[in-house]
Amino acid sequence: MSIISDSLKRIKPSPTIAVTQKARELRAAGKDVIGLGAGEPDFDTPNNIKNAAIKAIRGGDTKYTAVDGTPALKKAIIKKFRKENNLKYSSDEITVGTGGKQVLYNAFMATLNRGDEVIIPAPFWVSYPDMVLLAGGKPKIVKCNEADNFKLTPEKLRKAISKKTKWIILNSPSNPTGASYTKAEIKKLSRILIKRKKIQILSDDIYEHITYDKAKFFTIAQIPSLKNRTLTMNGVSKSYAMTGWRIGYAGGPKDIIKAIRKVQSQSTSNPSSISQAAAVEALNGTQKFISIRSKEFKKRRDFVVKSLNKIKGINCLTPNGAFYVFPSCKGLLNKKTKLKKDTDFVQKLLEKVNVAVVQGSAFGLEGYFRISYATSMKNLKKAMERIKSFCESLEY
């Protein structure tokens, strides 16, 4: 008899973390590896946020806090939702976790029963299906076509819904594709969901502030009739370059928030008091740097997309959000190149030219790969040259 639980056997380690760790190991062994796998801004946490944390430490703000967030942080989150999204929440409709990942995990643990289905559009963030499986639910993967910019269509949503559907996940802007749903697209999806009153909606808005080309962010909870069925998750990791601080939050129905608090009370308890103090300053302090950094991300995006589309066998759409591109490598997968799957492409790319990317199949769509351009332009230029060199070396 195995000591490991059956539920744990159903899942796999995070592929993105695995790629990042592999890149670290190769660097430690002396290899000149360029890692394009991590979804982490290369910018530093702004000084005003750091100073707020230092002030909290010196002021003795180092004790346990309320399980799901300090009153000050909840107040800042409520203000953010009201000001930026026109969403009104009370304190008991807000939860704070150790990263957005914990908030999502807690939500599934608190609500899913065995056999409950969760609709997950693919390409998806790698952790969604495994979190659902750990909670005893059943991921229902809906593959979204490149022709639709990798976005869920109303037709596909309608077909995916069953009597067992409990949640649907919407991630906009998306990880891994960078695609962002327009207000009109969300409204079309909402018309279907409004009629299915038992379905809950999980909106992952973690890349809200990283958008380009005049894209206007809109979240589904802004549809009045869906707000009381939507858990809107966000956090400070991406926009504020605070990945290591581990603060995520969500606004949603009181009963779900209460259940999430119950799960968290028996797992991690409260997030770091210091990180919460820093997050208060992040949300309440200056926001000017966000647009400045987004402009830099856009320059990188434009360079990477242009460079990739010059390579024979690679095709890359131009995303309007996040800091990822999701190019197709299908043109390189054939008998002549001896590359059968995207995993072969990714593996050989790392072995031959020391560039680490993540295979599309890890995100639920075979034949693609994800590049994070949240690194310096110097690294990106070197990486694009190496990718081009590798692809040109393949025999056709």
pLDDT digits (tens, 9 = 90+) for 224-268: 999 999 999 999 999 999 999 999 999 999 999 999 999 999 999
φ/ψ of residue 14, rounded to 5: -60, 120
> Is residue 373 scored above 80 in pLDDT?
yes
| Average pLDDT for 48-67 | 98
Over residues 103-107, mean pLDDT: 98
Q: In the 8-state DSSP scheme, what is residue 119? A: E
What is the sign, positive or negative, of the torsion defined by CA atoms of 156, 160, 163, 169? negative
**Residue (of 248, 252, 256) closest to 232 by Cα position:** 252
Binning pLDDT at 50, 70 and 90, where does residue 128 land?
A: very high
Whether 43 has a pLDDT exceeding 90, the answer reads: yes
Task: Share the mean pLDDT of the chain.
Answer: 96
Contact assessment for residue 124 and residue 169, using Cβ atoms and an 8 Å cutoff: yes
Look-up: residue for tokens 């080309």?
213
Q: 329-359 pLDDT, tens per residue? A: 999 999 999 999 999 999 999 989 999 999 9
User: Which one has a higher pLDDT value, 14 or 183?
Assistant: 183
Q: What percent of the chain has pLDDT over 90?
A: 91
Residue 94, C-beta contacts closer than 8 angstroms, at least 6 positions apart: 68, 69, 74, 77, 78, 249, 250, 251, 257
pTM as predicted: 0.96
Closest Cα to residue 189, out of 163, 162, 208, 161? 161
The pLDDT value given to residue 396: 67
pLDDT recorded at residue 392: 96
Give the integer Cα–Cα distance in Å for 133 and 118.
10
Q: What is the pLDDT, as a whole number, of residue 13?
A: 80
Query: What is the rounded CA–CA span in Å between residue 42 and residue 35?
Result: 12
- Whether the CA torsion 102, 36, 321, 16 is positive or negative: it is negative
Distance CA 392, CA 390 (A): 5
Q: Quote the pLDDT of residue 388.
A: 98
Q: What is the mean pLDDT of residues 9-30?
A: 80
Name the burial class of residue 310, with classes exposed (0-12), middle (13-18) and buried (19+) by CB atoms within 10 angstroms of its CB: exposed
Q: Where in the chain is the domain with CATH 3.40.640.10?
A: 61-284
CB atoms within 10 A of CB 25: 11
Range 78-99 average pLDDT:
98
Q: Where in the chain is the domain with CATH 3.90.1150.10?
A: 6-44+289-393
Summarize the confidence of residues 200-218 as an average pLDDT.
97
CATH code, residues 61-284:
3.40.640.10
Fold of 6-44+289-393: Aspartate Aminotransferase, domain 1 (3.90.1150)
